[in-house]
Structure 1
Amino acid sequence: MAKAMDYEAQQRLNVTFLPYPTPGHMNPMIDAARLFARHGVNVTIIATPANALTFQNAIDTDFTHGYHIRTKLLPFPAAQVGLPEGLENIKDGTSLELLSRIRRGISMLKGHIELLFQDLHPDCIVSDMCYPWTVESAAELGIPRIFFYSSSYLADCATHSIMRHRPHERLVSDTDKFTIPDFPHRIEMTPLQLANWQRVREQVSYYFEEMFESERRSYGALYNSFHELESEYEQLHERIVGIKSWSIGPVSAWANKDDGQKINKEHKDELPKEPEWLTWLNTEQNDSVIYVNFGSLTRLHHAQLVELAHGLENSGHTFIWVIRKKDGNEKDNSFLQEFEDKMKESKKGFIIWNWAPQKLILNHPAIGGIVSHCGWNSLLESLSAGLPVITWPMFAEQFYNERLVVDVLKVGVPVGAKENKFWAFSDKDDMVGRKEIAEAVLQLLEKEEGREMRMRARKLSGASKKTIEKGGHSYNNLIQLIDELKSLKISKATEKTNINI
């Protein structure tokens, strides 16, 4: 019996996951790692202590259910980069100075991670895109490196295409339009909507170019997307990037599928008091409320907050708005406090401070659409809930995601964001006005095209549920990838045995 168990342990596939510490990257990778464990893989996740705290409960629960999954902790060099203990995630960077220190701390972990790879003896490394050096680490160990991309196929294909052809450099003005080369759809953008590293050749461009080049040199790529959402861009990816890819999304819905009924039951049976937002939402008509959330990294300046508040109010439609309180920013907080009081009195809007149970809200029948920064996780959650989107991209690849939602899937209304700018560099020139915001809400909730978008979004919602069921595209892709990695492990062990003989 013991020998059989030893043999089984030896044959079990060992996969090490290396997430990048920012919610948009880390959360989907943790869910992907949990899915691997649920399908018989021995999973190790490398993380620093404060980051591990955010997902450790889920890992412990999976472990108690008999899955082979664990977290391997590496201390974060907080003191060496002048940070207080516990500041280890990009979302904690509330200033450029803090951000650069956190990034420096992350980069200092490289040597420790490489030593850990050697100790863990993985059969495969699944690495976030932000660690391009893991291609060499995997090559030295003689194992495959899987590139984990935490956004859409379209965004990745667009990045590779623009890096290769540089169509924006032929234009006279930054506001002129170019068409993305090689694409199955006509996608037009302006140079201003590109991330700065792509638009302007600068020192930091090398870091990003190396990151995307590392994808081409990987064994394959793993995507938190699904076939029915981006089938044409799955195919284009193989032609443009030249490697295999597996879409296994939406990973959050899949990894937490079994929790849904439990959460709803606990919500109804065990909570002594219904949350205030839910009581308010229960009084609203179906498809009538707009949900507003800009994710964990976006910070709007005061003048933009004022425009957004007036735009929502002027639309005449009810809304739920999630806002992060800014420490010590009295001007923002006093305006928002007054606005919140006014909305409470009129029952026209509800503000949730700092954090909201997004999936529960999105799946409430009263919600008719979402105002989103086009972060990939938020878009997937919105479409999984069957909701159309008012698109308000801010930075990084979010403008590409907007084009997918608006031009390809036709489930989005653009609010008119013009420039790709990280929040720390934004100013009043980049502002979206209250008139545009109100018009976008009206278009989504009152016009015929808004109703058509909702119908298309609901079809995608059905597809997102089917794809993760047994026999669905995402389900089959995960099984195929695990089987392929197992075959590689066996053939490698056979080669080794033959050499020794």
Structure 2
Amino acid sequence: MSSESSQLHIFFLPMLAHGHMLPMLDMANLVASRGVMATIVTTPLNVPLVSRTTSTPTSTKINILTIKFPAAEVGLPEECEILDSDNSKDTMPLFIKAVGMLQEQLEQLLSAYNPDCLVADTFFTWATDSAAKFNIPRLVFHSTGFFCLCASTCVGLYEPHRKVSSDSEPFVIPSLPGEIKLTRMLLPDLPKTDAEAAYIAKIVKTVNETEERSYGVVVKSFYELEKDYADYYRKVFGRKAWHIGPLSLCNRNSIEEKLQRGKASSIAENYCLEWLDSKKPASVVYVCFGSLTKFSDSQLREIAWGLEVSGQQFIWVVKKHENNAGEKEEWLPDGFEKRIEGRGLIIRGWAPQVLILDHEAVGGFVTHCGWNSTLEGVSAGVSLVTWPVAYEQIYTEKLVTDVLQIGVSVGVKKCDGLLGGSIKREAIEKAVNMIMVAGEAEEMRSRAKTFAKMAKEAVKEGGSSYSDLSALIQELSVRRLHH
């Protein structure tokens, strides 16, 4: 490795939410393994998570710098420095306000360390201006893939939802390859009032403008997965973009590395692995809805009944507040755990998702269609039941079911935000059986395994993502020499 003075130095500024932090930490690990100096900028309470995820046996040392999170200034509890399912709904507006107040501290660090590049999450719209002050290129780190970026941009540009007569009338997303149909009800976060519409339009405009003025965009995807949309994004929108995913594959060298991602697991990994080891290949369905979704008790009961009557073996991750000892869990049907003993495993809290998905016993995945989870499922070669709840997840569902054809929809008709809608047990049972045992299940899984193989090839030396990251590092190195 070259000396520090001649070493390319990249700053990483991840959004303070697990789903945003983990892939950016993966990227930092990845560039560090290529001889680049990587520095993560985060807040004090997030340092343990960053250290844990970037201190794997095979990783190169990564620097960590901290900035103070102004929780109290915006009316948040002092310990609130990350968005998760415990606080997401109530604190989101205050949290975003606090994130907007980090600019000055970041600029002090940019001035002091003068890195060669700033990779900042899309949420930090001000980061492009901050980097420009010091003549530092800013790369936008997207939390989604090319398909979602293209679909949401086309919907924003052409507003096809305004041309239909009802919320349930289907429309085709104009200009987008693949005849993708949606309804107004499915569109994420449509404004309810004119004032809200103006506010959202302003945010979208700011995000688009800062992206256009940035040096380019980093996308955690791989070319073979969504090539038509990668080409469309670059050619039609004229955006400079590098695909460098799936990033979770850089942490898949050992069981220990898979366990290091994110928070400490809420279940003993040995118990989880032994349970999976006792099952036949592709016989278990994994059910998890990410770190922000917070279902109602009644919806959790429907999931429990749906899983029970499906007859399938399953691991179900439930994000619930811990109950006091002996307190009845209202969301659990009476006698449920006894009836599913040996067939089902409930993990209350954080699960080692990559570890579970990569186990040969797992054949299906019920997911909220967050991009991290979707890519982890794709990389593991499992079929998906899609259950989008918010944001751009409805677009990811269309990619999975209509374009890639590696999953089936549970039947969400309306995106209800992070509360997750109301899906009945019969729909859950049907969708789970369709990916596990129905006639098309084998064909679907075969396609999924083909994409998994492509994902692994993409990140190997000479693969599409490996080469795109090399091209990015080379471009930044050349720019460094000329500045």
Question: TM-score, length-normalised on structure 1?
Answer: 0.88
Q: Aligned with 2:459: secondary structure?
A: coil
Match status 1:343 vs 2:339: yes
Q: Aligned with 1:333: secondary structure?
A: coil
Q: Aligned with 1:15: secondary structure?
A: strand
- Taking a change above 3 Å as real, the CA distance of residues 196 and 436 of structure 1, as seen in their structure-2 partners, is same
Paired residues of 1:59 and 1:70 also in contact (CA < 8 A): no
- 1:473 pairs, out of 458, 464, 467, with 464
Give 1:204 deviation, angstroms.
3.4
Give 1:390 deviation, angstroms.
0.4
Paired residues of 1:415 and 1:437 also in contact (CA < 8 A): yes
CA distance in 2, matches of 1:207, 1:331: 43
| Number of corresponding residues | 471
Give 1:54 deviation, angstroms.
0.7
Match status 1:25 vs 2:38: no
The code of the aligned residue for 1:290 comes to V
CA distance in 1, matches of 2:116, 2:52: 26
Paired residues of 1:157 and 1:236 also in contact (CA < 8 A): yes
- Taking a change above 3 Å as real, the CA distance of residues 260 and 302 of structure 1, as seen in their structure-2 partners, is closer
- 2:424 pairs, out of 428, 433, 437, with 433
Give 1:334 deviation, angstroms.
3.5
**Structure 1 equivalent of residue 173 of structure 2:** 180
Give 1:331 deviation, angstroms.
9.4
RMSD: 2.5
- 2:141 pairs, out of 145, 148, 152, with 148
**Structure 1 equivalent of residue 263 of structure 2:** none
**Structure 1 equivalent of residue 38 of structure 2:** 43
CA distance in 2, matches of 1:410, 1:95: 32
Question: 306-315 or 369-378: which moved more?
Answer: 306-315
Paired residues of 1:125 and 1:144 also in contact (CA < 8 A): yes
Give 1:262 deviation, angstroms.
7.2
**Structure 2 equivalent of residue 397 of structure 1:** 392
- 1:460 pairs, out of 437, 443, 451, with 451
CA distance in 2, matches of 1:296, 1:95: 9
Q: Aligned with 2:440: secondary structure?
A: helix
Paired residues of 2:89 and 2:418 also in contact (CA < 8 A): no
CA distance in 2, matches of 1:332, 1:220: 52
Q: Aligned with 1:104: secondary structure?
A: helix
Matches within 5 A, 1:413-424: 413-423=408-418
Give 1:489 deviation, angstroms.
1.2
Give 1:325 deviation, angstroms.
2.3
Question: 132-141 or 296-305: which moved more?
Answer: 132-141
Paired residues of 1:467 and 1:473 also in contact (CA < 8 A): yes
- Taking a change above 3 Å as real, the CA distance of residues 421 and 205 of structure 1, as seen in their structure-2 partners, is farther
**Structure 2 equivalent of residue 86 of structure 1:** 79
CA distance in 2, matches of 1:472, 1:251: 13
Please list every run of 5 or more consecutive structure 2 residues that lacks an aligned counterpart in the other structure.
260-267
Q: Aligned with 2:11: secondary structure?
A: strand
Match status 1:162 vs 2:155: yes
Match status 1:488 vs 2:479: yes
Give 1:370 deviation, angstroms.
0.6
Question: 109-118 or 119-128: which moved more?
Answer: 109-118
**Structure 2 equivalent of residue 355 of structure 1:** 350
Deviations 1:417-469, CA, capped at 9 Å, x for gaps: 11122225x6xxx4111111111112111222111010000011111111111
Give 1:482 deviation, angstroms.
0.3
Deviations 1:333-361, CA, capped at 9 Å, x for gaps: 2442745423344x332211112111221
Question: TM-score, length-normalised on structure 2?
Answer: 0.91
- 1:100 pairs, out of 93, 109, 117, with 93
Match status 1:234 vs 2:230: yes
- 1:445 pairs, out of 436, 440, 445, with 436
Paired residues of 2:160 and 2:171 also in contact (CA < 8 A): yes
**Structure 2 equivalent of residue 498 of structure 1:** none
Give 1:92 deviation, angstroms.
5.8
Give 1:394 deviation, angstroms.
0.3
The code of the aligned residue for 2:401 comes to V
Match status 1:206 vs 2:202: yes
CA distance in 2, matches of 1:223, 1:163: 20
Q: Aligned with 1:125: secondary structure?
A: strand
Please list every run of 5 or more consecutive structure 1 residues that lacks an aligned counterpart in the other structure.
265-272, 493-501
- Taking a change above 3 Å as real, the CA distance of residues 95 and 69 of structure 1, as seen in their structure-2 partners, is closer
- Taking a change above 3 Å as real, the CA distance of residues 478 and 75 of structure 1, as seen in their structure-2 partners, is same
CA distance in 2, matches of 1:58, 1:335: 32
CA distance in 2, matches of 1:457, 1:231: 16
Match status 1:132 vs 2:132: no
Paired residues of 2:143 and 2:220 also in contact (CA < 8 A): yes
The code of the aligned residue for 2:431 comes to A
**Structure 2 equivalent of residue 57 of structure 1:** 52
Paired residues of 1:157 and 1:240 also in contact (CA < 8 A): no
Give 1:110 deviation, angstroms.
1.9
Give 1:319 deviation, angstroms.
1.3
Between the two proteins, what is the percent identity of the paired residues? 38
Paired residues of 2:85 and 2:319 also in contact (CA < 8 A): no
Q: Aligned with 2:482: secondary structure?
A: helix
- Taking a change above 3 Å as real, the CA distance of residues 389 and 15 of structure 1, as seen in their structure-2 partners, is same
- Taking a change above 3 Å as real, the CA distance of residues 164 and 204 of structure 1, as seen in their structure-2 partners, is closer
**Structure 1 equivalent of residue 220 of structure 2:** 224
Give 1:202 deviation, angstroms.
4.0
Paired residues of 2:69 and 2:98 also in contact (CA < 8 A): yes
Of Structure 1 and Structure 2, which has the larger fraction of its residues in helix? Answer: 1
The code of the aligned residue for 1:118 comes to S
**Structure 2 equivalent of residue 267 of structure 1:** none
**Structure 2 equivalent of residue 270 of structure 1:** none
- Taking a change above 3 Å as real, the CA distance of residues 339 and 95 of structure 1, as seen in their structure-2 partners, is farther
Q: Which has the larger radius of gyration?
A: 1
Q: Aligned with 1:146: secondary structure?
A: strand
